Amino acid sequence: MLLDSLDRRLNIKGLTSEPAQKRTEVPFDPNRDISEQEWTLLSRFMREHLESNIPHRDFYSSAANFYQLDPRRWNSLGLNDFFREKAINSYRLPKTGAAFWPPLIARGAQLRIIAPDHIDDLFSYPDSLQGDFKKMRTSFKRNQGMSITVAEEYTIFFGKRDPSVYPDNTYVQLLNLCLADRDNPRRFAKSASRLRIVFPEHFDKLQLGKDDLRGMKKELDGLRPGSRGFMDQDTFLDLARNMYLLAAQEVTVSDKGVQIIPFKEEINLEPTAILLPEQRRF
């Protein structure tokens, strides 16, 4: 589990109770672990690409990641109208069919996160899409590869968790993918985040620990601009968002998007001697 239980060990000899030495702070906090210099670079990146005629391919995903890391900071940029217009116009559904489902779901998930009230604007042919949604569910039941690939986006797109849409052993396959990716912090963060979004009831089976988060932090540090003043914004935002989601106390998915609820306080688990009541003999 992300935060180990606070079971106390009783020291009979000293008549003290000592908490186990585990972790002393919340594993990832965007406001603490992303510097103002980095936020400035990321904000400039958002504005320049959103106001350009053709934002690059990963931009919408990066914008959604930025928003999840700090909604208030995103809103302060005043880019919501730009984002909504660009996102909708960049993917108007030209026709229906399975080939168009993955990009539709991805763009819909991004809109659900930043502009949930405008998600219906994405559809050019809303009536015909209703039949496609039924076909999509049937296709996912038959095609585990597709269901694993777009499972997170699908869950966010529809604003709810619906395990019934996937083959029965999809969570096992996704869990195995997480375990296979464990030696690669960036890939592991991605697959573990996907598991927490889609199958939160199985997330604890990963037994995410300090070594995992330490590896992710080291990977993130390698993406920081440092003295160069340059950073891979897309990769940085993706990894930072996944770390934030994995370190959260709770993650909810609804028609309002994804809400990441962090631990509110750092937990002090330093050894502390607690005097027990004096035992008197009679």
For 117-144, write each residue's pLDDT tens digit: 888 777 655 555 556 666 666 666 666 5
- Matching residue, tokens 């000899």: 13
- The boundaries of the domain holding residue 224 are 25-266
158 within domain boundaries? yes
Average pLDDT value for residue range 1-29: 45
Q: Angle 198-202-205 (CA atoms, 0-180°, nearest 5)?
A: 135
pLDDT of residue 273: 39
pLDDT range class, residue 216, cuts 50, 70, 90: very high
Whether residue 3 is contained in a domain is answered as: no
Question: Does residue 17 belong to any structural domain of this protein?
Answer: no
Per-residue pLDDT, 146 = 62
pLDDT beyond 80 at 60: yes
Per-residue confidence (pLDDT) for residue 11, from 0 to 100: 37
Asked if residue 151 belongs to a domain, the reply is yes
Per-residue confidence band for 34, with pLDDT thresholds at 50, 70 and 90: very high
Query: Which residue, 174, 165, 173, 172, is CA-closest to 142?
Result: 165
Between 195 and 266, the higher pLDDT residue: 195
pLDDT value for 282: 45
Residue 268 in this model has a pLDDT that exceeds 50: no
Identify the pLDDT of residue 80. 87
Lowest mean pLDDT among 1-5, 84-88, 188-192: 1-5
Confidence at 24, pLDDT banded by 50, 70, 90 = very low
Contact 28, 263 (CB under 8 A): no
Q: Are 231 and 41 in contact (CB under 8 A)?
A: yes
pTM, rounded to two decimals: 0.79
Residue 227 has pLDDT above 80, yes or no: no
Please report which confidence band the pLDDT of residue 270 belongs to, taking 50, 70 and 90 as the band edges. Answer: very low
| 3-class secondary-structure state, position 168 | coil
Highest mean pLDDT among 56-70, 154-168, 240-254 belongs to 240-254
Q: Could you give the C-alpha distances from 198 to 91, 116, 155, 163, 247, in angstroms and in order?
A: 24, 19, 6, 7, 16
pLDDT score for 215: 95
Residue 14 lies in a domain: no
Q: Are 212 and 5 in contact (CB under 8 A)?
A: no
Residue 11 falls inside a structural domain: no
φ/ψ of residue 228, rounded to 5: -75, -30
Q: Is 125 inside any structural domain?
A: yes
Give yes or no for residue 276 having a pLDDT over 50.
Answer: no
pLDDT given for residue 172 in this prediction: 87
Instruction: Provide the domain count of the chain.
Output: 1
Mean pLDDT of the chain: 77
148 is a domain residue: yes
CA distance 275 to 196: 40
Greater model confidence, 104 or 259: 259
Q: What φ, ψ does residue 18 adopt, rounded to 5°?
A: -115, 125
